[in-house]
Chains A and B, each alone.
Chain A
C-alpha cells in the first residue's frame, strides 16, 4: 500500500505557497532589521561616525519647547542641543547618574557669546579669552526632583537671588529652580557683564510659556510641604537639601529632607521623610535603627525628658549622636550631632512640630 500521493492536491499546494510566503516575509524582516542595527551595542563609536558625517554636533536637533530670548549684546554661539536620559552622559559625563536617578526627562542647552569680544568659530584655536556663557535647562518632571538636584549641588557661601525662591549666584554662574525645571547659567569668566547678561536671560526665561504658572512670579515654585515642617529657630537659611535615595548611606531611607541648624559654634543636621503610611514610617525607623546598630551604633538614654516620653531611638555613633523617631507618617531625627544635649533639644522641637501636624491631620 502506498503512503503518499504522487501529486499534491490544491489544498496542499496552497498551504505550501502560504508557508513559503511566510518564510519570505520573515527573511525580509530580518534583512530590514539587520540593516538598521545599533552599532553602539557592539562597541562601534556611532557618535564619532555621526560627528564625522555632520562635522561637529552632539545632542539632538530638537528645538526647545519654549521661546528662547537672546540677551542684549549677545548672540548664539552654537546650535541648541537637547539631551535625554540615553545620551545625557555625552554632556555631563559622570554626573548624569545624579540627574537620571532624580527623574530627569530632558536637558536643553544653548551657548551665548558677546560678539564684541568674540571671534570664535567652530574650529581649533581661534580665541581663548572670549566672553560667553551656557544655559542649561533640566526638565526634572517634578518640582521635588528639580529641588533635589539643585539642593544637593548647592555651593556654600553664595549670594541668594532675591527674585527666586530657590536660587543663588556665584562669581561666574546662576542656579535656580522654577517649577519642574532646574536651570544653570554658567559663565566663562568672573565678569560683571556676563552676570548681568545671565540675570537678564533668567528674568526673560521664567515668564516664557513653559515656565509660566498661574499666580507665580519669577523663580517661584510649587510649595514643598516638608520644608515648612522644620523648626525655624536657628535654621541655617537655604540649607535644605532633598536626598531621593541612599540617605546617610542607608538604602532603606529615601526621599528625605535635611536641614542644618546652628547650635553655638556647631552645626546640627535634622532630617525628615514623609512615608506613605504610619506603619511604613515605623518600619523604616526600625530598619534605619538596625542599620546603625549593625554599623557600630550603641543605644544610649535620652537625657531630655520630652524625648524620654516618646519612642525615640538615641544612639552613640562613633562619638556622635543619632536620634530617630516615627510620628504619624513621618520618619525624622538628628544625624551625627557632636553635642547630645543640643541634638536632643532640636529633636524635641522637631517632634513637637510634627506631632501637632499629625494631630491636625488626624482631626481633619
Chain B
C-alpha cells in the first residue's frame, strides 16, 4: 500500500460521508415505504374497479311469492307456476334483456339430473320472449369444460333453438366484487359481464343431494357465477351459499323437483340416484324455495345451516308457509 492509501481521513470528511450515507439510507427507506404494498398482489385489482351485481328483483306481492306445482311435464308445470305468480309479464317487461342462469355444472346427460333440464330452459326462454323480451341470454360458468357442458347437457341446443344467446365463460367476462359484510366474497372474481346489461335474472336449478352441503338448489346454483379457485369455498360451504344468496337478488328462481337426485350428488351418475317427485317450485324468494325444496330430499330446513344463515342475513325466509304458498297441479 502507498502512503496515500494509508492516509487517514479527517473528522470533517468523516461527517460529510456519514451524512451522505444517512441521506442515502433515508431516501431508500422512503422510496421503499411508498412502494410497499400492504395488500400484496391483490392490489392488482384496483378497488375502484370492483363491481356490484344489479338488483334484479321485482316488488313483492303478498300471496304470490312462492308457487308449488305438481306434474311430470316440465313445460306445463313451469308455465303454470309462473302464471299463478302473476304471469310472465310480472317478471319480464317488453324490451328488457333477460339473463337465465341454469345449472350447467357438469358435462353429463340430462338423464342424470345433475344439471338443469334443457326443456325447462327452453320453456322459460320462450316465455320471456312471449312477454316481449328484447334479448334472452343463457349463461353459466361450469365446473367442467364449458363447451362440453353446454353441448352434452342439451342446454346449449335447447336455448339456441328457443332463440336465446348462449354465453360461455371467458376471462374478459369476469370482474371482481366484494359483498358488503361478506366474509368470503371479498375482492373475488364473478361472472359479471353477461349480467351487467341484463334487466332481469332468472335462476333455474335441479333439486339434488350434495355431498358437501347436503342439498344443491336455487341458492347453490349461484355458485356458478363465481370465478377463481372457487373450490376453496367448499371448506365453508354454508357461509358461501348464504353469501351468494345475499349477493344475487334474482327476479325469479325455479327449482325443478320433477326428478330429484336423492343420493350421490352433486354429480350422481345413475338413474337409480333419482326419485320422481313431480314437483316444480317457482319463487321470488330463493330461501323459501329451497326451504320447501329440501323437504323433497327428506330434509328439514334446519338440517341445512345455510338456509338459516341466509335468512338471518335478510335474503329470504325459511318459513315458506308464512308466505302462503300457492299449491296447484299442472293439469
- A-side residues, CB < 8 A to B, are 1-7, 9, 37, 40-46, 48-49, 51-52, 55-58, 78, 89-98, 120, 122-128, 132, 134, 153, 155-158, 170-173, 175, 184, 186-190
20 CB < 8 A contacts A-B? A4-B8, A37-B41, A40-B229, A42-B40, A43-B45, A43-B188, A45-B169, A45-B227, A48-B171, A89-B143, A90-B231, A91-B143, A93-B231, A93-B267, A97-B212, A124-B168, A125-B158, A134-B108, A158-B272, A186-B269
A183 CB to closest chain B CB (Å) equals: 12
Contact, CB under 8 Å: A125 / B272: no
B151-172 near A? 1/0 per residue, CB < 8 Å: 1101011111100001011110
Query: Can you name the residue of chain B whose Cβ is closest to the Cβ of A43?
Result: B228
Q: Assess whether B34 is interfacial by the CB under 8 Å rule.
A: no
Contact, CB under 8 Å: B112 / A186: yes
- Find chain A residues with CB under 8 A from B231 CB: 89-90, 93, 96
Residues facing A in B20-47 (CB within 8 A) are 40-42, 44-45
Contact, CB under 8 Å: B105 / A170: no
Binds A, one of B247-255, B258-266, B317-325: B258-266
Contact, CB under 8 Å: A170 / B234: no
Q: Assess whether B273 is interfacial by the CB under 8 Å rule.
A: yes
- Bound together, the chains give a CA A120 to CA B157 distance in angstroms of 11
- B-side residues, CB < 8 A to A, are 1, 4-10, 14, 40-42, 44-45, 105-106, 108-112, 118, 141, 143-148, 150-152, 154, 156-161, 166, 168-171, 174, 176, 187-189, 210-213, 216, 227-229, 231, 234, 237, 263-267, 269-273
- Find chain B residues with CB under 8 A from A89 CB: 143, 231, 234
Contact, CB under 8 Å: A190 / B156: no
Query: Can you name the residue of chain A whose Cβ is closest to the Cβ of B7?
Result: A6
A175 CB to closest chain B CB (Å) equals: 8
A57 CB to closest chain B CB (Å) equals: 6
- Find chain A residues with CB under 8 A from B188 CB: 43
Q: Which of A2, A37, A56, A173 contacts B147 (CB 8 A)?
A: A56
Contact, CB under 8 Å: A9 / B211: no
- Find chain B residues with CB under 8 A from A7 CB: 4-5
- Find chain A residues with CB under 8 A from B264 CB: 95, 153, 155
- Bound together, the chains give a CA A256 to CA B55 distance in angstroms of 50
Query: Can you name the residue of chain A whose Cβ is closest to the Cβ of B169?
Result: A48
Query: Can you name the residue of chain A whose Cβ is closest to the Cβ of B176?
Result: A43
Q: Which of B9, B108, B270 contacts A171 (CB 8 A)?
A: B270
- Find chain B residues with CB under 8 A from A123 CB: 147, 151
- Bound together, the chains give a CA A171 to CA B270 distance in angstroms of 7
Contact, CB under 8 Å: A56 / B148: yes
10 interchain residue pairs of minimum CB distance: A2-B8, A125-B157, A128-B154, A124-B156, A188-B109, A94-B212, A125-B156, A89-B231, A45-B227, A43-B228
Query: Can you name the residue of chain A whose Cβ is closest to the Cβ of B166?
Result: A124
A interface: dominant SS = loop
A60 CB to closest chain B CB (Å) equals: 13
Contact, CB under 8 Å: A93 / B150: no
- With A48-B170, A49-B171 already in contact, the answer to whether A78 and B148 are too (CB < 8 A) is yes
Given contacts A41-B229, A128-B154, 14 further A-B contacts (CB under 8 A): A4-B8, A41-B41, A43-B176, A43-B227, A45-B171, A56-B148, A90-B143, A124-B168, A132-B109, A153-B263, A153-B264, A155-B273, A156-B272, A186-B270
- Find chain B residues with CB under 8 A from A128 CB: 110, 118, 154, 157-158
B261 CB to closest chain A CB (Å) equals: 12
Q: Which of B8, B174, B267 contacts A1 (CB 8 A)?
A: B8
- Find chain B residues with CB under 8 A from A172 CB: 111-112, 270-271
Contact, CB under 8 Å: A97 / B157: no
A261 CB to closest chain B CB (Å) equals: 22
- With A89-B234, A97-B212 already in contact, the answer to whether A173 and B269 are too (CB < 8 A) is yes
A253 CB to closest chain B CB (Å) equals: 20
Contact, CB under 8 Å: B234 / A94: yes
Contact, CB under 8 Å: A52 / B187: no
- Bound together, the chains give a CA A157 to CA B263 distance in angstroms of 14
- Bound together, the chains give a CA A176 to CA B229 distance in angstroms of 32
Contact, CB under 8 Å: A45 / B147: no
Query: Can you name the residue of chain A whose Cβ is closest to the Cβ of B264?
Result: A153
- Bound together, the chains give a CA A58 to CA B146 distance in angstroms of 9
- With A58-B144, A122-B151 already in contact, the answer to whether A5 and B170 are too (CB < 8 A) is no
A171 CB to closest chain B CB (Å) equals: 5
Contact, CB under 8 Å: A4 / B14: yes
- Find chain B residues with CB under 8 A from A94 CB: 210-213, 216, 234, 237, 265-266
- Find chain B residues with CB under 8 A from A6 CB: 4-5, 7, 9
